[in-house]
Homo-oligomer: A and B are copies of this chain.
Amino acid sequence: MPRETLVDSRQEILRTAARLFQQRGYDATSMNDVAAALKLSKGGLYHHFQSKDEILFEIMNHAMDLTQERVLSPVRSISDPEERLRALIRRHIEVILSPRDREITVMLHENHPLPPALRKRINTRKKDYVHFVENLIVDVQRARHTKGSVSPRAAAFALLGMINWIYQWYKPEGNLQANNLVPQFTEMVFGGILA
């Protein structure tokens, strides 16, 4: 099997499993259920993933990969701190709203039991992201010559809360979509950190 197809089918498994986990609950979904939804034999599924824990871990890890590829990597090369922060807010919101990846990214923040070693690897990647945002806010406040009354750390958590919470209320048919949400949340963050 060519590598491209292999990668695609792994991602397809993760997306389908993520959808089932959300609809039925993680524990109530068996490896058999995942295989059946994909029209795979149980052996075919185990060829890709050895356990449900591994699938859950890979869903979360893939969500962090998406954040790395679509937010962190493109943003790092922007030299102006304000532009870098604006791009991060826009790109992070776009990842959250992506219909193709929403099933995956939602799983990142649900409180599912994962073996401690795997849980730690995800948490380390999450912490790295928090630190990146925190340092970026330091740079923006410095460039504007304002210390601000809000610490970069509290502001980073506020920003991540605003954006990661979107999945709790977002409706594809609602009035708030990327085109008006991005400028408003950007305004909220800049108003907050430069106040």
Contacts and interface: CB of A to CB of B under 8 A. Distances in A.
Interface stretch (A42-50, A57-65, A66-74, A109-117): A109-117
A135 to B, nearest CB: 16
A184 interface: yes
Contact of A25 (B26, B176, B180): B26
A27 B187 CA distance: 41
Interface stretch (A2-10, A33-41, A79-87, A158-166): A158-166
List the number of copies, as a whole number.
2
A147 interface: no
A154 interface: yes
Interface string A142-186: 000000011101110110111111101100000110001101110
10 contacts: A25-B25, A25-B112, A27-B27, A106-B111, A149-B187, A155-B184, A157-B169, A161-B163, A161-B168, A162-B165
